[in-house]
C-alpha cells in the first residue's frame, strides 16, 4: 500500500487508536503518526513502546498540520476534545471518530468543526476486552467491518480517502445512516454487553454459588460473559447513556422474548424451545460463514491468541 495521509493524529491512545498506529505502520499508510492521551502515564507508556512517531502533551499540538484526526476518546468526552482542537485543525483536513454511538457524536462534535474541515463519523466493529496503549495490535481490523456515517454534504473525495485508509488496514467498510447504525449496534453489541454485565452481576450476588465455583466452572457459557463484562467501564457507561432510545427499545424486545421462553419452560413446551433454538443456531452459522468468527470449539480464543471480538 502507498501512503494515504501524510500526517495522522490520534487523540486517545487505547486499543483502537493503538491498533490503528500499528496497522498504519505495518502497511505504510501514513507518513507520520502523532498521538495524544489525556493521562501523562499513558503518554509515557506510548513513548516508551514507540507507539507513534511523536507523542504530544496537548491535543492542539498533536493535530497541528494533520491531514486526518481520529477522535478515539469516550463518547461523552468528544465534544470537549473537538472544541479544544477546532482552532488548530488544518484546512482540508478530515476529522473522524471511533465511537460506538453515532447520532450523539454528530450532535456533539459537528458544531465545533470549522468550515473547510471534513467531519466523517466512523465506528470500527472490532475490539477485545483489553484497553490501554499496550493492548493494540496491527491485525485487529482484519476482515472486520468499519461503518462510516457521513452527514449530508460530505465531500466524496474525503470519504473515498478515508475508505482507502480503512481498507488498507484490512477492514471492510460500509456507509450507514447514523440513526440506523445506533439501532443495529443496540442489537449486535450494546444490549448483549448489558446482558453480559447483568449475568456476571447475578452470579456475584447469588450466594448459593461460591466465588470459587464461579471461577472453577466458568469454562461453560459464563466464561464468555465475563470476557465481555471485562470491557472498559467508562466507554460502556457512555454508550448506554448516549444510545438510550435504541438500547431501551431492543432491551424491551429482549424482555418480551425472555417472557415467552419462560412460559415455554414453565409449560414444558419442548417443541417451542427446539424451534426457537434451531432458528438462533442458524444465525450463528451465518456469522461463521461471513468470516466474523470461527467454528472452533473454543471460539478461536485459545490461550495466547489475540482474538478480535465485536466492540461497541
Q: How far is 13 from 35, CA to CA, in rounded Å? A: 7
- Give the confidence band of 217 by pLDDT, cuts at 50, 70, 90: low
What is the homologous superfamily of the domain 180-289 according to CATH?
6-phosphogluconate dehydrogenase C-terminal like domain (1.10.3660.10)
**How many of the other CB atoms lie within 10 Å of CB of 256?**
9
Q: Regarding predicted confidence, which is higher, 129 or 276?
A: 276
Residue 225 pLDDT class (50, 70, 90 cuts):
confident
Q: Are 20 and 46 in contact (CB under 8 A)?
A: no
119-133, 153-167, 210-224, 278-292: which has the minimum mean pLDDT? 210-224
Helices (H), 110-221: 156-168, 178-185, 191-205, 211-216
The larger pLDDT score, comparing residue 232 to residue 87, is at: 87
Q: Between residues 268 and 304, which one has the greater pLDDT?
A: 268
Q: What is the distance between the alpha carbons of residues 50 and 57, in angstroms, rounded to a whole number?
A: 15
pLDDT band at 297 (very low <50, low <70, confident <90, very high): low
Residue 215, CA distances (Å) to 192, 222, 230 in order: 21, 9, 14
State residue 124's pLDDT score. 96
Domain ranges of the chain: 5-176, 180-289
Q: What is the pTM of this model?
A: 0.80
Q: Is 226 exposed, middle or buried (0-12, 13-18, 19+ CB in 10 A)?
A: middle
Mean pLDDT of 184-188: 89
Q: What is the model's pLDDT at position 307?
A: 41
Do the domains 5-176 and 180-289 sit in the same CATH topology, yes or no?
Answer: no
Query: pLDDT (tens digit, 9 = 90+) per residue, 256-276?
Result: 988 899 999 999 999 998 998
Q: How far apart are CA 87 and CA 159, in angstroms?
A: 22
> Which three cell numbers, joined as nine digits, stand for 130?
483489553
- Evaluate if residue 309 carries a pLDDT over 60: no
CA angle 222, 261, 217 (to 5 degrees): 15
Q: Using pLDDT thresholds of 50, 70 and 90, give the confidence band for residue 283.
A: confident
pLDDT tens sequence across 134-154: 999 999 999 999 999 999 999
Of 29-43, 117-131, 163-177, 183-197, the least confident: 183-197
pLDDT at 312 over 70: no
Instruction: Give the pLDDT band (50/70/90) at residue 298.
Output: low
Rg (CA), the chain: 21
pLDDT of residue 214: 64
Asked if pLDDT for residue 19 goes beyond 90, the answer is yes
Q: Which fold, 5-176?
A: Rossmann fold (3.40.50)
With 80 as the cut, is the pLDDT of residue 176 above it? yes
4 secondary structure, DSSP code:
S
- pLDDT for the residue 219: 61
Amino acid at each position: 500500500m502507498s501512503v494515504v495521509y501524510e500526517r495522522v493524529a490520534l487523540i486517545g491512545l487505547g486499543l483502537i487508536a493503538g491498533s490503528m498506529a500499528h496497522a498504519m505502520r505495518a502497511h505504510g499508510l501514513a507518513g507520520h503518526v502523532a498521538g495524544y492521551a489525556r493521562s501523562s502515564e499513558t503518554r509515557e507508556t506510548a513513548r516508551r513502546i514507540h507507539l507513534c512517531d511523536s507523542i504530544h502533551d496537548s491535543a492542539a499540538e498533536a493535530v497541528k498540520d494533520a491531514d486526518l484526526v481520529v477522535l478515539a476518546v469516550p463518547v461523552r468526552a468528544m465534544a470537549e476534545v473537538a472544541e479544544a482542537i477546532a482552532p488548530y485543525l488544518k484546512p482540508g483536513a478530515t476529522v473522524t471518530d471511533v465511537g460506538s454511538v453515532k447520532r450523539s457524536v454528530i450532535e456533539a462534535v459537528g458544531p465545533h468543526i470549522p468550515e473547510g474541515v471534513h467531519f466523517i463519523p466512523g465506528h470500527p466493529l472490532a475490539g477485545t476486552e483489553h484497553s490501554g496503549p499496550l493492548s493494540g495490535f496491527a491485525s485487529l481490523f482484519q476482515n472486520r467491518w468499519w461503518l462510516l456515517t457521513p452527514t449530508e454534504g460530505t465531500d466524496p473525495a474525503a470519504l473515498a480517502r478515508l475508505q482507502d485508509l480503512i481498507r488498507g488496514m484490512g477492514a471492510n467498510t460500509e456507509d450507514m445512516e447514523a440513526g440506523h447504525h445506533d439501532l443495529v449496534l443496540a442489537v449486535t453489541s450494546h444490549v448483549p454487553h448489558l446482558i453480559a454485565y447483568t449475568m456476571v452481576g447475578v452470579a456475584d450476588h447469588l450466594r448459593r454459588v461460591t466465588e470459587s465455583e464461579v471461577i472453577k466452572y466458568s469454562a461453560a457459557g459464563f466464561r464468555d460473559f465475563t470476557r465481555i463484562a471485562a470491557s472498559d467501564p467508562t466507554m460502556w457507561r457512555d454508550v448506554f447513556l448516549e444510545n438510550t432510545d435504541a438500547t431501551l427499545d431492543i432491551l424491551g424486545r429482549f424482555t418480551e422474548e425472555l417472557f415467552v421462553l419462560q412460559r415455554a419452560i414453565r409449560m414444558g413446551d419442548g417443541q417451542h424451545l427446539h424451534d426457537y433454538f434451531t432458528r438462533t443456531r442458524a444465525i450463528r452459522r451465518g456469522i461463521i460463514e461471513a468470516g466474523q468468527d470461527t467454528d472452533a470449539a473454543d471460539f478461536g480464543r485459545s490461550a495466547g491468541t489475540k482474538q478480535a471480538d465485536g466492540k461497541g
